[in-house]
Amino acid sequence: MSDLLDLTAAAAAERVRAKEIDPGELFEAYRERAAADELNAFTWVADGPPAEAPAADAALGGAPLAVKDLFCTEGVPSQSGSRILEGYRPPYTATVVARLHRAGAPLLGKTNQDEFAMGSSTENSGFGPVLNPWDRTRVPGGSSGGSAAAVAAGLAPWALGTDTGGSIRQPAALCGIVGLKPTYGACSRYGMIAFASSLDQAGPLTRDVTDAALLLGQMVGHDRRDSTSLEFPGELTLPSAEDLKGIRLGVPEELTGSEGGVEAGVRERFEATLRLAEQLGASVEPCRLPHAPHALSAYYLIAPAEASSNLARFDGVRYGLRVDGDADLLSMYERTRSQGFGAEVKRRIMLGTYALSSGYYEAYYGTAQKVRTKISEDFREAFEGFDFIVTPTSPWTAFELGSKTADPLAMYLNDFCTVPMSLAGIPAVSIPCGLSEGLPVGFQLAGPAFSEGRLLDVAYALEQAIGFDGSEARR
């Protein structure tokens, strides 16, 4: 069993296709491991393997998939980490989950998350916080913390997460794994319980870059049920680059200097990775993203505004929690939302409603959208001189549970380096680049829209040179 769990998903899939491993045996090995979860990474685990085994030539070879709780899965609890949806079992399955299932990745379990994906530590879940497998007194990051912790701890070979402002990349960094946010529109959002519709995007969390490319290749493409989804240009192949000759990397001072508040250990590992990139043949030079320091402020107006609209549907009438009122509909609605939503969700709904209110719309939401446009223009100009932009993924390593819950601003600063890419809608990947005081550090690479193939190739070459070993978290 331990031999099976040491395999990457791609390696396990290859051995299943070669008939060296039975897919049912592989599923059961992970199911037993997930069922014994001590990190609170899962909110639901399958009782057994699927009734139908994957096809013999299935691209994903039967490697079981952990799925973030906000993806709808038919007949399986899909609660988005919220008590207001506790026990909700949808009558349909999200497009990306269905595509991966057809490609040979059966559903292993649903992973814990910050409620409605609102958080950077997975402490806002209605089902309790997730623990970091590297140090159980610390957070795994968020909001896809359950998915990241499950993969890092070997409870799942790979997992699905979502990224709105950094919710795949930041927990990947804090847990020492790979996390990819695709180009906005590359993957269907149908069946995802929405947080901020113009920002949410599904993506993989995996042990290595090859697994991320393999999973992403089965996720992308237009879906007629999601008008924002697009056909992915070209074909995604597995990365194979051995060097970085000819690659131009830009290092924005705005996201890597003193303004970003990057702690010393993270900066040290980031700079060491830049030197390694140069040794592999890349050119590394400073660049400018002048509006990037304003990204966090813009994001925390745009995302809550969209959330206040999206979350209006949770009213106790059609599905989910209902708390009876004083014989009138308004009372029932108010009590249901008061008891069903957690503190952070209420905070963001109120922020968003205020930003959209009469007399304030243009001053707040409208201005934030103008800043978003400026940030997108900054990236377009930067990519005229550079192939990719690189930054630390998170300004610091995993912090202690409870250390930032009383200070929302300190918590929001976790996303300082990841939010600009989300606002611009461009792809970005985090790879582990070493340890700082025994905790993983993430290195982020971002590229132009739909550059995932080249982005993963560069990440792969760096990954091979770094040689990070995450096995300590799987013990």
Instruction: Assign residue 61 the CATH number of its domain.
Output: 3.90.1300.10
Class of residue 212 by CB neighbours under 10 A (exposed 0-12, middle 13-18, buried 19+): buried
Handedness of CA 77, 78, 82, 86 (dihedral sign): negative
**First-residue to last-residue Cα distance in the chain:** 13
Same domain (yes/no): 156, 232:
yes
The verdict on 135 and 25 lying in the same domain is: yes
What pLDDT, on a 0 to 100 scale, did the predictor assign at position 422?
Answer: 98
Angstrom distance (rounded) from CA 368 to CA 378 = 15
Closest CA to 9 of 194, 292, 282, 214: 214
Q: Please check whether residue 16 is in contact with residue 26, taking contact to mean a CB–CB distance below 8 angstroms.
A: yes
- The average confidence (pLDDT) of the chain is 96
d(CA 15, CA 13): 5
Which 8-state DSSP code applies to residue 249?
Answer: E
Structural element, H or E, at residue 4 = helix 2-6
Whether the predicted pLDDT of 2 surpasses 80 = no
Q: What is the token pair recorded at 389?
A: 């932009």
- The whole-angstrom separation of Cα 249 and Cα 235 is 24
Within this chain, do residues 56 and 154 fall inside the same structural domain, yes or no?
A: yes
Between these two residues, 182 and 54, which has the higher pLDDT value?
182
Asked if 80 contacts 143 with a C-beta cutoff of 8 angstroms, the reply is no
Q: Give the pLDDT score at 103.
A: 97
Q: Cα–Cα distance between 454 and 308 in angstroms, integer?
A: 37
Query: Does some domain include residue 455?
Result: yes
Same domain, 169 and 305: no
In this structure, is residue 176 part of a structural domain?
Answer: yes
444 three-class SS? strand
Look at residue 394 and tell me whether its pLDDT is greater than 70: yes
Please give the tally of structural domains in the chain.
2
Please give the Cα distance from 233 to 240 (Å, whole number): 20
DSSP letter (8 states) at residue 73: B
> What mean pLDDT do residues 272-290 have?
98
For residue 123, being part of any structural domain is answered with yes
**Is residue 255 situated within a structural domain?**
no
Contact between 415 and 296 (Cβ < 8 Å): yes
Instruction: State the pLDDT at residue 245.
Output: 98
Q: What is the pLDDT of residue 258?
A: 56
Residue 261 has pLDDT above 90, yes or no: no
Does a structural domain hold residue 430? no
* Residues 410-438: tens digit of each pLDDT: 999 999 999 999 999 999 999 999 999 99
130 domain-assigned: yes
Residues 233 and 350 in one domain: no
Domain edge (last residue) among 326, 348, 367: 367
Is 224 in the same domain as 337?
no
- Cβ atoms of residues 97 and 191 within 8 Å: yes
Q: Read off the tokens for 61.
A: 């070879």
Average pLDDT over residues 205-227: 98
Identify whether 468 is part of a domain. Answer: yes
Q: State the Cα torsion 251-280-210-218 to the nearest 10°.
A: 60
Active site residues: 68, 143, 167
Which of 340, 367, 394 lies at the terminal end of a domain, its last residue? Answer: 367
The answer to whether residue 19 is domain-embedded is yes
Residue 2, Cβ density class (10 Å: 0-12 exposed, 13-18 middle, ≥19 buried): exposed
Closest CA to 92 of 228, 231, 188: 188
pLDDT of residue 55: 87
**Between helices 9-17 and 23-35, what is the axis angle to 10°?**
150
| CA 188 to mean position of chain CA atoms | 15
The pLDDT value recorded for residue 391 is 98
**pLDDT value of position 327:** 74
pLDDT at 142: 97
User: Taking a C-beta distance cutoff of 8 angstroms, is the pair 210, 245 a contact?
Assistant: no
Backbone angles phi, psi at 140, to 5 degrees: -95, 0
Provide the 3-class DSSP secondary structure of residue 204: strand
* φ, ψ (nearest 5 deg) of residue 380: -60, -40
Looking at residue 337, its pLDDT comes to 95
Among 367, 388, 413, which residue terminates a domain? 367
Domain range for 315:
293-367
The yes-or-no verdict on residue 246 having pLDDT over 80 is yes
238, exposed or middle or buried, with CB in 10 Å at 0-12, 13-18, 19+?
middle
Q: Where are the alpha helices (DSSP H) in 44-162?
A: 95-102, 145-152
Inter-residue contact 97 to 223 (CB < 8 Å)? no
Query: In this model, does residue 257 exceed pLDDT 90?
Result: no
Domain co-membership, 109 together with 179 = yes
**Claim to verify: residue 225 and residue 316 sit in the same structural domain:** no
Q: 213 with 118, same domain? A: yes
Q: Are residues 161 and 233 in the same domain?
A: yes
Mind spelling out the 3-state secondary structure of 281-293? CCEEEEECCCCHH
Whether 319 and 206 share a structural domain: no
Looking at the structure, tell me whether residues 226 and 89 fall in a common domain.
yes
